[in-house]
Every structure is written in C-alpha cells, then in structure tokens.
Chains A and B, each alone.
Chain A
Amino acid sequence: MERPMIKAALGAVALTLAAVPVLAQDPQTGGTLRILATGEPDHLDPTTGAMVNTNNFLRAVSRQLISYESSNDETVALAPVGDLATEVPLPTDDGLTYTFTLRQGAMWDAPSGPRQITAADVERGMMRNCNPVLGSFSLSYYTMLIDGMAEFCDGFAKVEPTAEAMKAYMEANDISGIETPDDMTVVFHLKEKAGDFIYMLSLANTAAAPVEVMDYIPDSPEYRENFIASGPYTIGEYVPDTLLRLVRNPAWDPASDPLRAAYVDEIEITMGMQADAIMQQLQSGDADLAYDINIPPAILAMLTAAGDEKLVAISAGNTNFLFINTVSGNNNGALKDLRVRQALQYAVDKAAIVQQWGGPTVAEPVNGIFGLGVLGHHAFDLYPSAEAKGDPEKAKALLAEAGFPDGITLKMPYRNKDLEVATAQTLQASLARAGITLELIPVTAADYYSKFMTNPANTKDGVWDIAPVGWTPDWVGGAARSVFQPQFTYDGTNHQTYNYTDYNNDAANALAAEAINATTPEETATLWGQVDEMVMADAPVVPLIANKNPRYHGEAVQNYRIYALGVEGDWTNIWLDR
C-alpha cells in the first residue's frame, strides 16, 4: 500500500467497478477459498494490525463494535452498521457520549468452550491499544478523544513489557471514559465532539479482547498459538511465511452476525509468491483471490483490453503527491518562496503520471490533499492547466519572478521499486520543461519511509528538496481528519512523523475543527473542501494522482462484494462455484 510501512491504512472507498458480478445462482456453501500472497499479514493480533490487506483476514476472525456491509454499492459499503453492537447509536450529551448494546450470541471460541463477548472484553480491547510492547497505529485518535484514555496509556507506558506486568496493570486500572454498566452495555465518554468517532470504532484495533489473551505478549508466537477468534473463522494452521489456513470457528453463531455469511469451509492463504505467478494462477482459475498485490500495469492493460469482468478497481482514498521541503536552506531557501512552490504546481504533468500508472481505469489527476471517496474531495484546481498536462510557461514566469530566471536544481529521492522508478523519471522530464532540473536519488524501498523520509535531519540538512510520497486515510468515508491532521498540522513543539516540514495553517486548523464536529455529510464535505483549498493555497505539497487499486479474482469466485476496509472482495461473503 502507499502508506508508510507500519502505519499503512484502511480505505475510504469509492467503488469504480469494471463490472459487477451478477448473482446468477443460489449461494453454495463449502469449499476452500484459495488466496495467494507475496508476504504475510503484518500482524495476526487485531490490536496491532496496520496494513490494509490485514483487515480482510481480521474481518474473518474478529469482530468490532462497528463495521460495514460488504457491497458493490458505494453508499452501502461506506455506511457504518452495527457488528458486535446491535446498532449504530446516536450520540447523547451534546455529542460526547456513545452507548452501545452488545449482540447476544456473539461468542468467543474460548478454550473452556464458547463464551459470550462482554462489555469488559470491549474495554480490554481498547486498553490493549497502548500496551508497552506493540501498540496500535490508530492509538493517537483514541487518546485524543476518549476521556481518561491518555492518562491510562501514560501509566501503561511505564509498565514493564512482560505479560504478567501488563495483565496486572490492565486488571488494576480503568479507562475512566469507558463505562460498562452491565455485561451487554458499553458507554464511551469523549473529551470533544467528533463526527467521525463511529468510523474509528470500525478499525480492527478496537476489537474486543478475551480475558485469556492477557497471558500473552500481544501478537507473540504464544498469542498466535492460542488465538481466540470471534469471527466465523479461526486459525487452523499457521506456518510463518508459508501458509495460513483458516477453518470454521465452532463458537460462531450465524444468527448473531448479520454481516458475514461465511459460505466457504476453509480459507487458505499461501505466501511467498511472485506477483506474476499470482496473476497467472488467478487467470487460470487455480487460485481465487490475491492477498497483497496490485495488478501490474502490463497485465492490467491486457485485462482491460479483453474487457475481463473479473477486473475491479477500488479506491481506498489514496493519493500520491510531492512533499516540498520548506525547511532546508538549499538554493538559498528557494522553496520557502511561495512562487517557487507554485511554479512546481504548474510544472508537473499529472496526465503523464496517470498514463504511467495504467491510465484512467486506475488513476486520475488530483489537485487537493484528499483522495477519491473521502468526504472533502471535490473538483477544484488552483493551478490549472489544459488536460492536467502542466503549464511550463507559467512555471518559468513564476520562477523568474522569484529570482530564478535560469531555472533551479532540486534533489528528489524515490523508492527504487516498481512504478516509482518510472514515476520519478516522468516527473524529471516534466519538470525539465520548466527549467527545473531534478537530481534523482534512488533509495531502497524498505528504507524510504522508515529511514530516509522520517528522519528530520534529512529534511533540515536538505538531503531532499521534493519527495514523492503517498497517503491512505485510516478509515472510510468521513476520513478527512486522518489525512489532514497527521500531515498538515503542527502544534509548534511536537514534530509529527509524516508532516515532514512541520507545515501548519491556523485558519485551516480552525475550519478543520468545525468540519470534525459537523453533523451532516454535506456540511462535512463542504468544510473539508474549504480546508483543502486553504492548504493548497500555501502549496506545501504538489498533488499528483488519486489512484484506485486494481483487483482481480478467479473464475470460481461468486458474490464478489467489496469490504471497504480491506479494499478487496469480502472473504466471508464469497461462495465458490467450481
């Protein structure tokens, strides 16, 4: 996924379907869903899962308070519905209190026999988010919103990272903002109003946790061996980097789960394959789904040309853009000058990048910070050009005005992998038209975010001037906050990892606060749209493309309906016709 390594994300979904499979027959139960993967799920413990595709696995084995119906209709796929909760509650107490009723019959597959999931399990699940061993990527949202969560986590951070010490702390302490008046009721008290709180509870990180897991370090081998499922499947066999077999969870009761039909008997994930081999097996029908690949553009072109209806393009709200280094003193601080940054906006050829990524099926030019399907994404362009091909003349004029009539030389790192190499050279060629020379610096893909970009010294010392990066929002639909806050706000003291240049705009922040508290989707969208335009007026980034994720499935797959958080057909609703 585009998102930096660990904090990879979930999706806001705009479903653009090449074709919607038609329900031709009655659903069939049974069979093994064969899934091919290049690598492993990043984590098996719901608390620690962070990659988008891990959500598909977690959908099958765990349950959250809130989730989404899998559907090919965007409005249905993005509407939060009750999963472990009986329904989506309306907030009370001026938007500060949310009361959930848990579903009767939702069971743990506990070693001692099936056991009802209770309110205490939900609170325990939230507590585990800030365990001192392996935290969750979405923790900051909860500490920011839930009353008493920050205090609980501050204390938890000081606990010795052993299973015993963590268990003792969790048993002795409480999150004051989460109340459990009875076994089947959970009440959340928030510090401030948040229209998107419900969406946050759909993340797997908030999954309830049974009392037994406190005996293990989160996501440790012991945890994995003693996995306790709440979804329709549980781990049957797990060989790291090789095979993950999911079998039916005997404790799961279909009557308690309106979202998962669980047609197939087993789900088998085979790991360690190459993207090409995976595509070949999918096309021949030897496999049913891919786990973690985007279809390579060359194969995509063939499938599109053939009009293959098993090809689906799903947006997860991702965007790709250039971050501009306004911190370093390179070129006498040229990039601190708004005119130079605007020149960059005019110079890039977005149409060329769309073409490089595989054409309009999978990407479109974008002019703001929000991707497709995120409330706030709207058509506007502060730096317009014909067909999004860029306006080199205008860029040259702006550069000359800023004191660089002979052009300027900028350093651009790029990930040494797949499309990124071609994208970098496309950018180099398009900026050259405006007299901007790019010095390309290849960086190993694995080091790009973890070592290169997130090292503030590299930014300060001007090791890079502009850098191609990507972002995927953390949840779906009303997810603008998870794009804006981590990347475009700075409180003056705490550097945020992915706001490389400490960009901040107080007026935009104020408007964003309003947008978060807005009650209707229309109002939310309008306000976030204004935030987007305010940010782009400062030009801290050059938006390039909003891309969709092409997905492909085998012939046997029926009832392929998209699960928004997983950006893939829902494993628990597919049935097979072999």
Chain B
Amino acid sequence: MTGTGAPTGEEDGAVVQRGSLDLTLRRLTRDRAAMVALAVIVLVVAMAIFAPVFASLTGHSPITQFRDTGLSPMGIPVGPNAEFWLGADQLGRDVLVRLAYGARVSLLVGVLAACCASAIAVIVGTTAGFFGGWVDLALSRLIDLVMSVPFLLCALALVSVLGPSLMLSVSVIVFFSWAAMARVIRGQVISLSRQEFVQASRSLGAGPLSIMVVDILPNLTVPIIVYTTMMIPSAIVFEATLSFLGMGIVPPTPSWGGMLADASSNSLYLVAWWMVFFPGTALLMTTLAFNIFGDSLRDALDPKSLRTARRLKRDRKGAAK
C-alpha cells in the first residue's frame, strides 16, 4: 500500500467515508514496525496457548526431569539436540517446553496486572481530577506516596513475609504500577472537566457519575489504551525480576525470570548458553514487541501526533512523485 494519499475505494474516484476505527487501523497497518511487533505478540500468545502441543510433540512435560538424557553424570545440562530442541536445564528439563509454559505465566501476569492497574488508575485519576479540592489533595498524595516507595525492596519484603504465589505477584505488581497512569489521567480529567461540553452536560442536569462516565471517560480512551499496553511489558519484566530473585512463581512452575535465575545460579551460564539465550531472548522480544506496538498504537490513535503527521506528509510526497 504505497501512495495511499489517493483514495482506493470500491469504485474509482468515489470518496469513501471511513470511521475513526477504520482510519486508526489503516494507520496502524501502514506502520511496519507495529506489524512486526504484533506478529511477535501473536507468536508468544500462540506459544502460550499451544504449550501442551510442544509438550506432546517432544514428549516432555515442563516439570519432568530427564536425568539420563538431559544431564551429564556431573549434573551439567545437555545443549540443543534432536531430543531437546532448545537444550535442557539444570534439572534435565526441556527448555523449549518450559519456555512455552513460561509464556503463559508471563502473559497472564502481564495482561492481568496491566488491566487491574489501569482500572485502579482510571478510578483514582478520574475521581481526583473531577472532584478536585481535598479529594484531589488526598488522592494525589497517595499517588506520590506509592511512586516514592522503593518498589523492589518493598515487593521483596512483602513476598518474603507472605510467601510467594502467582496472585501475590500480580497484586504487588498492580500496587506499584497504577500510580503513574493515575497521575496522567488526573491531568487529562482536570483539563477536560473545564471544557464546554462538560459544562453543557452539567447545565442539562447530569450528575457527577454520569458526566465522568458518559462525557469524560470516552475522551480518555487513547491514553488508557496506550498506557495499558505499555504497562504489560513492565509487568512482565517485574514478574521476571521477582522470579529471578526467587520470590515470584514457586518452582517447579516455569517462568522466564525463574529460568534465567536457574542459569545464573551456580554459574551454569558459563557452560549452558542456551539456558540464558532462549528465555532471555523471549523476554526481550516480548517486552520490546509490546513497547513498539504500544508506541505505534498511540501514533495511530492520535492523528494529530507529530510522527503521524510527518509520515503522512512523507507518504504524500512519495505519492506525488
């Protein structure tokens, strides 16, 4: 699709009317980086969904230890070969199968935590921004408080007191991720609530809840979508960090951070590069993909953004030639 400055409708010369969703999708699909990122995300999601297929294909469950074929007599894992496509880990387990099951944990934690955090952020941010006064003062200080807590330290303390589990990991991540987004939403709401359409709504007798949900919230769609997408990779990394420190997912459940921790403990990475390379690459690619995609999504959703404008200009020039 080049030179799309010119309309390409069903009938030549006819002007096609496009909705905003349609336009957004068109802008998005034109962004090559976004498409590659999306492909990676789809791949990871597929890997998570079809994890059992990998298990049955190789005949290895994610927690079975193959001490004879996966380990040397001195306990050193074997590298990628016909039986273990991506090598074995320090307990003789299949890295490929664990990687696939680990994707489930990463995505579950990433998506769940990002959604919960953005829900909290929207509620807190809108309330603070709309009501102002002491409500704003209290909630803003709460946001400041959460943002000023040294989060890793606090997370580790919490987990070591309560004992690690998946739900606790998610809760900790949610607790420490909503604040930044809440602050952005609050700012947006403050500026929106002074606009004429809100005043109009109020003069027609709409209550605060109605104004927030019906009038203001739809205008926040873009920041909410973008921030939530951007929060997914940081939640994934956060989970990996907790697991890396042995405070996230309880073994033997595979998680990418835990797999990296396995490689680094006892200096195994010195002899088993595959134990670092594969989970590390998976983590890197996934977070990178979500970040790039989130970035492109912002550009696509916001036609006024500088980057979109520049690209459109460039495309138009290209079409003119």
Contact = CB atoms under 8 A, between A and B. Distances in A.
Contacts of A358: 74-75
A453 to B, nearest CB: 16
Contacts, number: 93
B169 to A, nearest CB: 13
Given A298-B271, A426-B91, A355 B74 contact: yes
Interface residues of A, number: 35
Contacts of B271: 298, 301-302
B71 to A, nearest CB: 6
B63 interface: yes
B67 A418 contact: no
B251 A300 contact: no
B267 A442 contact: no
B247 interface: yes
Interface string A257-275: 0000000000000000001
Given A298-B272, A359-B74, A442 B164 contact: yes
Given A301-B74, A358-B74, A442 B250 contact: yes
A424 B258 CA distance: 15
Given A297-B76, A356-B91, A421-B265, A440 B65 contact: no
B205 interface: no
Interface residues of B, number: 29
A361 B63 contact: no
Contacts of A440: 250-252
A428 B252 contact: yes
Interface string B228-272: 000000000000000000110011100000000010011111111
A170 interface: no
A121 B54 CA distance: 72
Contacts of B91: 356, 422, 425-426, 429
B73 interface: yes
B69 to A, nearest CB: 13
Contacts of A275: 267
A417 B250 CA distance: 13
B74 A299 contact: no
B126 interface: no
B29 interface: no
B72 interface: yes
Interface in A299-353: 299-302, 304, 352
Contacts of B63: 429
B265 A418 contact: yes
A421 B267 contact: no
Nearest to A415: B246
22 contacts: A296-B267, A297-B75, A298-B76, A298-B267, A298-B269, A298-B270, A300-B74, A301-B271, A352-B67, A355-B73, A355-B74, A358-B74, A358-B75, A416-B247, A417-B265, A418-B265, A421-B246, A421-B265, A422-B265, A425-B252, A429-B252, A442-B247
Interface of A: 275-276, 279, 296-302, 304, 352, 355-361, 416-419, 421-422, 424-426, 428-429, 440-442, 444, 447
